[in-house]
Amino acid sequence: MTNGLNFVALDVETANNQRGSICAIGGAIVEDGKLTGTFGTYCKPPEGLDHFSPFNTMIHGITAVTVANEPQFNDVMAEVVQLIGDRTVIAHNAGFDIGALRSACTHGGVTWPEWQYGCTLVWSRRILDLISYRLPIVAESLGIVIENHHDPVADAIASAEIAIKLAERTNSSTIAELTDATTTRLGLMQPGNWRGCETIHSGSSSQPEFAGANPDADPNNPLFGHRFAFTGALSITRQEAWNLAGHAGAIAEKSVTKKTTRLVVGDDFSGESLEEFQTKKANKAFMLRAQGQPIEVLTEQDFYELLAQTE
Protein backbone atom coordinates (compact mmCIF):
# COMPACT_ATOMS: atom_id res chain seq x y z
CA MET A 1 0.00 0.00 0.00
CA THR A 2 1.23 3.50 -0.87
CA ASN A 3 -1.51 5.52 0.81
CA GLY A 4 1.02 7.83 2.45
CA LEU A 5 3.12 8.40 -0.66
CA ASN A 6 2.93 12.13 -1.31
CA PHE A 7 5.35 14.18 -3.41
CA VAL A 8 5.80 16.36 -6.48
CA ALA A 9 7.99 15.11 -9.34
CA LEU A 10 9.87 17.82 -11.26
CA ASP A 11 11.73 17.95 -14.56
CA VAL A 12 13.48 20.88 -16.22
CA GLU A 13 14.90 21.49 -19.67
CA THR A 14 17.78 23.89 -20.33
CA ALA A 15 18.54 26.16 -23.26
CA ASN A 16 22.28 25.48 -23.34
CA ASN A 17 25.06 23.83 -21.36
CA GLN A 18 24.77 26.37 -18.54
CA ARG A 19 22.96 24.61 -15.71
CA GLY A 20 20.76 27.58 -14.88
CA SER A 21 19.46 28.15 -18.42
CA ILE A 22 16.03 26.70 -17.64
CA CYS A 23 13.55 27.15 -20.48
CA ALA A 24 10.81 24.72 -19.37
CA ILE A 25 9.57 23.17 -16.13
CA GLY A 26 7.16 20.30 -15.70
CA GLY A 27 5.65 18.70 -12.62
CA ALA A 28 3.50 15.77 -11.54
CA ILE A 29 1.64 15.74 -8.23
CA VAL A 30 1.22 12.43 -6.39
CA GLU A 31 -1.14 12.05 -3.43
CA ASP A 32 -1.55 8.76 -1.59
CA GLY A 33 0.38 6.95 -4.30
CA LYS A 34 -1.81 8.25 -7.15
CA LEU A 35 -1.07 10.81 -9.85
CA THR A 36 -3.58 13.61 -9.20
CA GLY A 37 -2.35 16.48 -11.33
CA THR A 38 0.33 17.93 -13.56
CA PHE A 39 1.67 21.36 -14.45
CA GLY A 40 4.14 22.67 -16.97
CA THR A 41 5.25 25.77 -18.79
CA TYR A 42 7.94 27.23 -21.00
CA CYS A 43 9.86 30.22 -19.67
CA LYS A 44 12.56 32.67 -20.61
CA PRO A 45 15.87 31.60 -19.02
CA PRO A 46 17.55 34.06 -16.63
CA GLU A 47 19.27 36.97 -18.34
CA GLY A 48 22.78 36.07 -19.44
CA LEU A 49 21.89 32.39 -19.75
CA ASP A 50 19.23 32.85 -22.41
CA HIS A 51 20.93 31.70 -25.62
CA PHE A 52 19.72 28.46 -27.18
CA SER A 53 22.35 25.98 -28.34
CA PRO A 54 21.67 23.77 -31.39
CA PHE A 55 22.51 20.69 -29.30
CA ASN A 56 19.92 21.38 -26.61
CA THR A 57 17.30 22.37 -29.15
CA MET A 58 17.94 19.12 -31.03
CA ILE A 59 17.15 17.22 -27.82
CA HIS A 60 13.99 18.99 -26.67
CA GLY A 61 12.88 21.12 -29.64
CA ILE A 62 12.63 24.35 -27.64
CA THR A 63 13.95 27.54 -29.26
CA ALA A 64 14.12 31.26 -28.49
CA VAL A 65 10.97 31.64 -30.60
CA THR A 66 9.18 29.06 -28.44
CA VAL A 67 9.70 31.10 -25.27
CA ALA A 68 9.45 34.59 -26.81
CA ASN A 69 6.01 35.26 -25.31
CA GLU A 70 6.44 33.13 -22.18
CA PRO A 71 7.00 34.42 -18.63
CA GLN A 72 10.43 34.91 -17.10
CA PHE A 73 11.94 32.06 -15.06
CA ASN A 74 11.58 34.12 -11.85
CA ASP A 75 7.79 34.34 -12.26
CA VAL A 76 7.45 30.66 -13.12
CA MET A 77 9.60 29.66 -10.16
CA ALA A 78 7.39 31.62 -7.77
CA GLU A 79 4.36 29.69 -9.03
CA VAL A 80 6.17 26.35 -8.79
CA VAL A 81 7.20 27.02 -5.19
CA GLN A 82 3.61 27.84 -4.32
CA LEU A 83 2.30 24.69 -6.03
CA ILE A 84 4.78 22.44 -4.24
CA GLY A 85 4.23 23.90 -0.79
CA ASP A 86 5.76 21.65 1.85
CA ARG A 87 5.69 18.49 -0.25
CA THR A 88 8.82 16.45 -0.91
CA VAL A 89 10.24 16.96 -4.41
CA ILE A 90 11.58 14.07 -6.47
CA ALA A 91 13.31 13.96 -9.85
CA HIS A 92 15.13 11.44 -11.99
CA ASN A 93 18.76 12.55 -11.67
CA ALA A 94 17.81 15.15 -9.10
CA GLY A 95 21.42 16.30 -8.99
CA PHE A 96 20.89 17.85 -12.43
CA ASP A 97 17.37 19.24 -11.98
CA ILE A 98 17.87 20.65 -8.49
CA GLY A 99 21.31 21.95 -9.49
CA ALA A 100 19.76 23.69 -12.48
CA LEU A 101 17.09 25.27 -10.29
CA ARG A 102 19.69 26.47 -7.76
CA SER A 103 21.76 28.03 -10.54
CA ALA A 104 18.75 29.65 -12.24
CA CYS A 105 17.58 31.09 -8.93
CA THR A 106 21.03 32.48 -8.20
CA HIS A 107 21.31 34.11 -11.64
CA GLY A 108 17.76 35.46 -11.40
CA GLY A 109 18.18 36.84 -7.89
CA VAL A 110 15.61 34.40 -6.47
CA THR A 111 16.02 32.98 -2.96
CA TRP A 112 16.43 29.21 -3.00
CA PRO A 113 13.26 27.49 -1.76
CA GLU A 114 13.39 25.12 1.21
CA TRP A 115 12.79 21.64 -0.19
CA GLN A 116 13.62 18.11 0.75
CA TYR A 117 14.16 16.07 -2.40
CA GLY A 118 14.71 12.50 -3.52
CA CYS A 119 16.16 10.98 -6.66
CA THR A 120 14.60 8.09 -8.55
CA LEU A 121 17.92 7.50 -10.33
CA VAL A 122 19.68 6.96 -6.98
CA TRP A 123 16.84 4.74 -5.75
CA SER A 124 16.76 2.75 -9.01
CA ARG A 125 20.46 1.97 -8.67
CA ARG A 126 19.73 0.52 -5.23
CA ILE A 127 16.73 -1.59 -6.25
CA LEU A 128 17.08 -2.53 -9.92
CA ASP A 129 19.84 -4.32 -11.85
CA LEU A 130 20.17 -2.54 -15.19
CA ILE A 131 22.87 -1.75 -17.74
CA SER A 132 21.89 1.94 -17.48
CA TYR A 133 19.71 4.01 -15.19
CA ARG A 134 18.77 6.73 -17.66
CA LEU A 135 15.09 7.68 -17.47
CA PRO A 136 13.83 5.80 -20.58
CA ILE A 137 15.74 2.62 -19.63
CA VAL A 138 14.40 2.59 -16.06
CA ALA A 139 10.89 3.39 -17.26
CA GLU A 140 10.94 0.57 -19.82
CA SER A 141 12.19 -1.92 -17.23
CA LEU A 142 9.20 -1.07 -15.02
CA GLY A 143 6.63 -1.17 -17.84
CA ILE A 144 6.22 2.62 -17.91
CA VAL A 145 5.64 4.34 -21.26
CA ILE A 146 7.00 7.87 -21.75
CA GLU A 147 4.72 9.56 -24.24
CA ASN A 148 7.17 12.29 -25.29
CA HIS A 149 10.64 12.00 -23.76
CA HIS A 150 12.27 15.40 -23.06
CA ASP A 151 8.90 17.06 -22.68
CA PRO A 152 9.19 18.17 -19.04
CA VAL A 153 5.65 17.19 -18.07
CA ALA A 154 5.99 13.75 -19.69
CA ASP A 155 9.34 13.18 -17.98
CA ALA A 156 7.97 14.37 -14.62
CA ILE A 157 5.08 11.91 -14.96
CA ALA A 158 7.53 9.11 -15.77
CA SER A 159 9.64 10.02 -12.72
CA ALA A 160 6.53 9.98 -10.53
CA GLU A 161 5.48 6.59 -11.86
CA ILE A 162 8.97 5.22 -11.28
CA ALA A 163 8.88 6.39 -7.65
CA ILE A 164 5.48 4.72 -7.18
CA LYS A 165 6.75 1.45 -8.70
CA LEU A 166 9.89 1.48 -6.55
CA ALA A 167 7.79 2.10 -3.44
CA GLU A 168 5.59 -0.86 -4.34
CA ARG A 169 8.62 -3.10 -4.87
CA THR A 170 10.01 -2.21 -1.45
CA ASN A 171 6.64 -2.24 0.35
CA SER A 172 7.15 1.43 1.18
CA SER A 173 4.07 3.49 1.97
CA THR A 174 5.91 6.80 2.36
CA ILE A 175 8.97 8.54 0.92
CA ALA A 176 10.66 8.10 4.31
CA GLU A 177 10.14 4.33 4.11
CA LEU A 178 11.48 4.31 0.53
CA THR A 179 14.66 6.08 1.62
CA ASP A 180 15.05 3.57 4.46
CA ALA A 181 14.53 0.66 2.07
CA THR A 182 17.20 2.02 -0.30
CA THR A 183 19.61 3.09 2.47
CA THR A 184 19.61 6.65 1.19
CA ARG A 185 18.86 10.06 2.61
CA LEU A 186 16.89 12.87 1.06
CA GLY A 187 18.66 15.87 -0.35
CA LEU A 188 18.02 19.29 1.12
CA MET A 189 17.88 22.70 -0.51
CA GLN A 190 17.34 25.81 1.57
CA PRO A 191 18.42 29.44 1.30
CA GLY A 192 22.21 29.44 1.06
CA ASN A 193 22.66 25.72 1.74
CA TRP A 194 22.16 22.36 0.07
CA ARG A 195 23.19 18.71 0.20
CA GLY A 196 22.56 15.97 -2.31
CA CYS A 197 20.33 12.89 -2.20
CA GLU A 198 22.91 10.28 -1.26
CA THR A 199 23.48 6.64 -0.46
CA ILE A 200 24.27 6.09 3.21
CA HIS A 201 27.49 4.13 3.54
CA SER A 202 27.75 1.67 6.41
CA GLY A 203 30.47 -0.54 7.82
CA SER A 204 34.08 0.42 8.33
CA SER A 205 34.86 4.11 8.49
CA SER A 206 37.83 3.60 6.20
CA GLN A 207 37.04 4.35 2.57
CA PRO A 208 38.46 2.53 -0.44
CA GLU A 209 41.53 4.15 -1.93
CA PHE A 210 42.63 3.69 -5.50
CA ALA A 211 45.89 4.63 -7.13
CA GLY A 212 45.46 7.99 -8.86
CA ALA A 213 42.29 8.84 -6.96
CA ASN A 214 42.02 11.96 -4.83
CA PRO A 215 42.14 10.77 -1.18
CA ASP A 216 40.53 14.02 -0.03
CA ALA A 217 37.43 13.66 -2.22
CA ASP A 218 34.04 13.52 -0.51
CA PRO A 219 33.24 9.80 -0.08
CA ASN A 220 29.53 10.58 -0.49
CA ASN A 221 29.89 11.96 -4.00
CA PRO A 222 28.50 9.71 -6.77
CA LEU A 223 31.89 9.03 -8.42
CA PHE A 224 33.88 8.16 -5.31
CA GLY A 225 35.18 4.60 -5.19
CA HIS A 226 34.16 3.74 -8.76
CA ARG A 227 36.45 2.57 -11.54
CA PHE A 228 35.81 4.42 -14.79
CA ALA A 229 36.69 3.43 -18.34
CA PHE A 230 36.13 5.68 -21.36
CA THR A 231 35.56 4.66 -24.95
CA GLY A 232 34.88 6.56 -28.18
CA ALA A 233 35.50 10.21 -28.97
CA LEU A 234 34.75 12.64 -26.14
CA SER A 235 34.54 16.43 -26.27
CA ILE A 236 37.61 16.53 -23.99
CA THR A 237 40.89 14.63 -24.13
CA ARG A 238 41.16 11.23 -22.52
CA GLN A 239 43.72 12.62 -20.06
CA GLU A 240 41.28 15.36 -19.01
CA ALA A 241 38.56 12.76 -18.45
CA TRP A 242 40.93 10.62 -16.36
CA ASN A 243 41.95 13.66 -14.31
CA LEU A 244 38.34 14.67 -13.64
CA ALA A 245 37.44 11.17 -12.46
CA GLY A 246 40.51 10.97 -10.27
CA HIS A 247 39.86 14.35 -8.67
CA ALA A 248 36.41 13.10 -7.61
CA GLY A 249 37.91 10.05 -5.88
CA ALA A 250 37.42 7.55 -8.69
CA ILE A 251 40.12 5.74 -10.62
CA ALA A 252 40.28 5.92 -14.39
CA GLU A 253 41.32 2.82 -16.30
CA LYS A 254 42.62 2.72 -19.86
CA SER A 255 40.31 -0.14 -20.81
CA VAL A 256 37.34 -2.09 -19.51
CA THR A 257 38.51 -4.67 -16.97
CA LYS A 258 36.92 -7.07 -14.53
CA LYS A 259 37.04 -4.28 -11.94
CA THR A 260 35.38 -1.56 -14.04
CA THR A 261 32.11 -0.28 -12.56
CA ARG A 262 31.33 2.63 -14.94
CA LEU A 263 31.85 2.80 -18.72
CA VAL A 264 31.49 6.23 -20.36
CA VAL A 265 30.71 6.01 -24.08
CA GLY A 266 31.52 8.97 -26.35
CA ASP A 267 30.76 9.35 -30.07
CA ASP A 268 27.49 11.16 -29.23
CA PHE A 269 26.09 7.97 -27.67
CA SER A 270 22.74 8.96 -26.14
CA GLY A 271 21.69 5.83 -24.26
CA GLU A 272 18.02 6.42 -25.06
CA SER A 273 17.15 2.78 -25.78
CA LEU A 274 18.53 -0.66 -25.09
CA GLU A 275 19.20 -1.11 -28.80
CA GLU A 276 21.96 1.50 -28.55
CA PHE A 277 23.72 -0.61 -25.94
CA GLN A 278 24.17 -3.41 -28.49
CA THR A 279 27.06 -1.56 -30.16
CA LYS A 280 30.64 -2.77 -30.10
CA LYS A 281 31.49 -0.03 -27.64
CA ALA A 282 29.03 -1.30 -25.02
CA ASN A 283 29.16 -5.00 -25.91
CA LYS A 284 31.92 -5.80 -23.42
CA ALA A 285 29.90 -4.17 -20.66
CA PHE A 286 27.00 -6.50 -21.50
CA MET A 287 29.33 -9.48 -21.41
CA LEU A 288 30.77 -8.50 -18.04
CA ARG A 289 27.29 -7.92 -16.59
CA ALA A 290 26.28 -11.37 -17.80
CA GLN A 291 29.20 -12.67 -15.75
CA GLY A 292 27.92 -10.89 -12.66
CA GLN A 293 29.95 -7.67 -12.75
CA PRO A 294 27.95 -4.57 -11.62
CA ILE A 295 28.96 -2.27 -14.49
CA GLU A 296 26.85 0.69 -15.63
CA VAL A 297 27.04 2.42 -19.01
CA LEU A 298 26.93 6.24 -19.05
CA THR A 299 26.82 8.88 -21.75
CA GLU A 300 29.40 11.65 -21.75
CA GLN A 301 26.69 14.02 -20.50
CA ASP A 302 25.87 11.62 -17.64
CA PHE A 303 29.53 11.80 -16.63
CA TYR A 304 29.50 15.60 -16.55
CA GLU A 305 26.27 15.66 -14.56
CA LEU A 306 27.82 13.35 -11.97
CA LEU A 307 30.86 15.61 -11.80
CA ALA A 308 28.62 18.63 -11.24
CA GLN A 309 27.27 16.92 -8.11
CA THR A 310 30.78 16.86 -6.63
CA GLU A 311 31.14 20.65 -6.70
pLDDT at 209 over 60: no
Which range scores top for mean pLDDT: 181-185, 215-219, 267-271? 181-185
pLDDT at 201 over 70: no
The candidate with the shortest Cα–Cα distance to 297, out of 252, 263, 247, 259, is 263
Q: Does domain 227-308 have CATH number 3.40.50.10190?
A: yes
Q: What pLDDT does residue 281 have?
A: 75
Confidence band for 202, pLDDT divided at 50, 70 and 90? low
In the CATH scheme, what is the homologous superfamily, with its name and number, of domain 7-199? Ribonuclease H-like superfamily/Ribonuclease H (3.30.420.10)
pLDDT at 1 over 70: no
The candidate with the shortest Cα–Cα distance to 102, out of 217, 7, 12, 219, is 12
- Euclidean distance between CA atoms 253 and 166, whole angstroms: 33
Question: Do 228 and 250 contact (CB within 8 A), yes or no?
Answer: yes
pTM of the model as a whole: 0.86
Q: What pLDDT does residue 309 have?
A: 81
Q: What pLDDT does residue 270 have?
A: 87
- Euclidean distance between CA atoms 50 and 158, whole angstroms: 27
**In the chain, pLDDT over 90 holds for what percent of residues?**
71
Write the DSSP string, 12-33: EEESSSSTT-EEEEEEEEEETT
Average pLDDT over residues 5-9: 97
Confidence band for 244, pLDDT divided at 50, 70 and 90? very high
List the domain boundaries for the chain.
Answer: 7-199, 227-308
Confidence band for 204, pLDDT divided at 50, 70 and 90? very low
Q: Which residue has the higher pLDDT, 239 or 278?
A: 239
Q: What pLDDT does residue 85 have?
A: 95
Dihedral sign for Cα atoms in the order 161, 199, 221, 84: positive
- Minimum mean pLDDT range among 142-156, 165-179, 186-200: 186-200
Q: Could you give the C-alpha distances from 241 to 62, 176, 178, 181, 267, in angstroms and in order?
A: 30, 36, 34, 34, 14
